[in-house]
Amino acid sequence: MMMLELAGLRRCFDDVVAVDRLDLALPAGCLVGLLGANGAGKTTTLDLLATLLAPTAGTARVAGHDIRTEVMAVRRKLGYVPEHGAVYEGLTAREYLELAALLHDLDPQVGLGRAERILAHFALTGVLDDRLASFSKGMRRKVLVTAALLHDPPVLLLDEPMDGLDVASQRRLADLLVQLAAGGKTVVYSSHVLQQVEEICQRLVLIHEGRLLWHGEVADLRREHGGAPLTDIFLRMTHQDSGSTVAWADLLGGGA
């Protein structure tokens, strides 16, 4: 069974087409890297799958549920770590995670037990009763990842999940994602850091200006491009020049 199926998915913001007729199918048990330049439509795609946005046209199914018509069922089946990382800052980590457990219909005690173990995995202990307002960016990110995993969802969407994490936590999260995929979950990992994506993902989805450019195994992509580094392949496929060397004085206008 395909856990994520996108069929002609399209989203426009007024006169801007952010996602343009995306077709894609991802099975259970895969860890997919979602790549694209700034403004390519990665976050919009994830927001559509997470039911934060309604599609302008087309649709998608998450774990068999339509994002247009079965919103609550979709939300029960997925965990999402958004890029912006917004939380209720006035709540403590315990209150926030209790709320997450309650709204995912988990027993609060069971949920808190899980949360403590997941946070401990990320070396975040003894702060459950601190306000989230006092947390650093990385600490918040760990709490968001914990909230996304709390209900053991079959589909996991992560938008720049490593942002703000220290090296050890990045390693722990990467290992955990590989383990989750091996256990049958579908994990979509969006990032700008190509090395990280290449390191942990077996498959890649490359989008450019809202359209699907390429989808398949990382090894196949590199083989097609003669074993070139992923960065070079990405720049070539998205028609971006890595940029010739420019003198700073020229950028300042020649007066410096």
Partner 1 sequence: MSARWLGPLVRLAGGDPVRVLGLARALRREAQVQLQLAHEAGTGGRLGPDAGRWVMLGVLGAMSIAVAAAVGALRERAWVAASLLVLCQGGAVFLTAARDAVPLILGQEDRRVLGWWPVSERELLLARSGLLLRAVLEASAAMTAAPLVVLLVAGAPPVAAGLGTLVGLGLHAVVLAAVLAILVQGLARLIGRARARRLVEVAGTLLIVIVINLAARRLGTLAGESRLAGGWALAAVPTAWFGAWGALAQPGWPEVAAAGMGLAAAIAVPAWGLRALGSRGRGDRESTARSRRAVDWTRPLGWWLAPWLRGRDGRALGLLARAHLREDWRLTGGVLFLPVLLLAYLAVSGDRLAGATAGTEAIAGRLALWMALLGASLGGAFTCSSEAAAAWLPAGGVGDPRRLLSLERRLARALLPAPALLAIGIALWAADLVRPADLPAVLGIPWLAFELTLTLTQLVGPAAPFSRAWRRDGGGANRAVFWLLLLVAPACLVWNALVIARTRWGLALTAALLAGSLAGVRWSLARRIGRHGLPGLSPRRA
Residue 206, amino acid = L
Q: In whole angstroms, how close is the CB of 15 to partner 1 at the nearest point?
A: 5
CB of 96 to partner 1, least distance (A): 8
What is the rounded CA–CA span in Å between residue 231 and residue 120? 34
The contact set with partner 1 (CB under 8 A) reads 13-16, 18, 44, 47, 50-54, 71-72, 75-76, 78, 80, 82, 84, 86-91, 95-96, 99-100, 102-105, 131, 133
Judged by beta carbon, residue 121 or residue 131, the one nearer partner 1 is 131
For partner 1, give the closer residue by CB, 58 or 82.
82
**Which residues, in sequence order, are CB contacts of 205 under 8 Å at separation 6+?**
24, 32, 33, 34, 35, 188, 212, 214, 215
Rounded to an integer, what distance in angstroms lies between the CA atom of residue 66 and that of residue 63? 9
> For residues 162 and 224, what is the distance between their CA atoms, to the nearest angstrom?
29
- R_g (Cα) of the chain, nearest Å: 19
User: Quick one: how far is CA 149 from the chain centroid?
Assistant: 13
Q: Which residue's CB is nearer to partner 1, number 42 or number 221?
A: 42
Q: Rank residues 90 and 229 by Cβ distance to partner 1 and give the closer one.
A: 90
Q: How far is the CB of 222 from partner 1 (least distance, A)?
A: 33
Shortest CB 9 distance to partner 1, Å:
14
